[in-house]
Amino acid sequence: MNTDDFANVPLASVAPGARLAAAVVGADGHVLMTAGSQLTEAILEGLAARGVVAVAIEAPRGEPELAAARDGARQRLVHLFRGCDLDEDGGAARMLFDAVLERRLEDLR
């Protein structure tokens, strides 16, 4: 990951919903949060209580990057389901494919 992909931000300025670009390590050296974790209000409060003052968050993506990421997620899933009949509407494979795709797309928001 290059340095343009994230920014170190004071914890008080981080909005819920941001994603960590790097792990958060406590004063004792233990990992408190892993890279990629989405921050909630409760998590932000917990980090502040542990003395964390700044975190590295991912830079927001533009629409072209999001579209490419969504397409990539869909293509990876199509590959995983390559032996299944996805043309059958209401079929178990199609329902599972749609549910997994929806979840993966949520992670990209």
What is the structure's pLDDT at 3?
42
* Same domain (yes/no): 9, 48: yes
**Average pLDDT of the chain to the nearest whole number:** 85
Least confident among 27-31, 35-39, 80-84, 89-93: 89-93
* Same domain (yes/no): 14, 27: yes
* Same domain (yes/no): 9, 38: yes
Instruction: Identify the helix (H) or strand (E) that includes residue 105.
Output: helix 92-108
3-state secondary structure of 26: coil
DSSP state letter for 1: -
- Number of structural domains the chain divides into: 2
pLDDT tens column, 36-84: 898 999 999 999 999 999 999 987 777 887 888 888 889 999 999 999 8
Give the domain extent around 52: 3-58
What is the structure's pLDDT at 87?
84
* Same domain (yes/no): 53, 13: yes
